[in-house]
Amino acid sequence: AGPSSEPGPRRTIDRSAPPLRFVWRTDAEGRFSALSPEFADLVGKTAADVIGRHFRDVATTFGLDAAGEIAGLLERRDTWSGRSVLWPVAGTDLKIPVDLAALPVYGRSRVFEGFR
């Protein structure tokens, strides 16, 4: 079964709701290390099951970054914004627009620690 096969009641999206802001983080190896619970509440648990997974793997699973543009931006370790993907909503055939931005995080000794 694919990423949109989540048992339970059919999900609905309130299209009149204001945009949802959420936070995501990766570690230095590019694995998701945190994701706001509000995001999972919106897209469903299976569509938000990304913790511990590399962005490229998540992008392949959900069809988010076919050209590899966002993965390339993550490899450069620079600040970026304004990149949109269509994220699937579990239990539906819907994909919703999600705008992504990333700020690199460096430790005290200027060692790269990931993105937020």
What is the reported pTM?
A: 0.79
> Does residue 102 belong to any structural domain of this protein?
yes
Let me know if residue 114 belongs to a domain: no
Mean pLDDT per 10-residue interval, the chain, length 116 residues: 51 67 92 94 93 96 94 93 92 90 95 95
Q: Which domain holds residue 42?
A: 24-108
Within-domain flag for 31: yes
User: For position 57, what pLDDT does the model report?
Assistant: 96
In a domain, 99, yes or no: yes
pLDDT of residue 17: 67
What is the pLDDT, as a whole number, of residue 11? 58
pLDDT of the residue at 9: 57
DSSP secondary structure code for residue 46 in this structure: G
Per-residue exposure over 16-53, b if at least 16 CB sit within 10 Å of its own CB, e if not: eeeeeebebbbbbebbbbebeeebbebbbebbbbbeee
Let me know if residue 97 belongs to a domain.
yes
pLDDT at 20: 73
- Per-residue confidence (pLDDT) for residue 12, from 0 to 100: 64
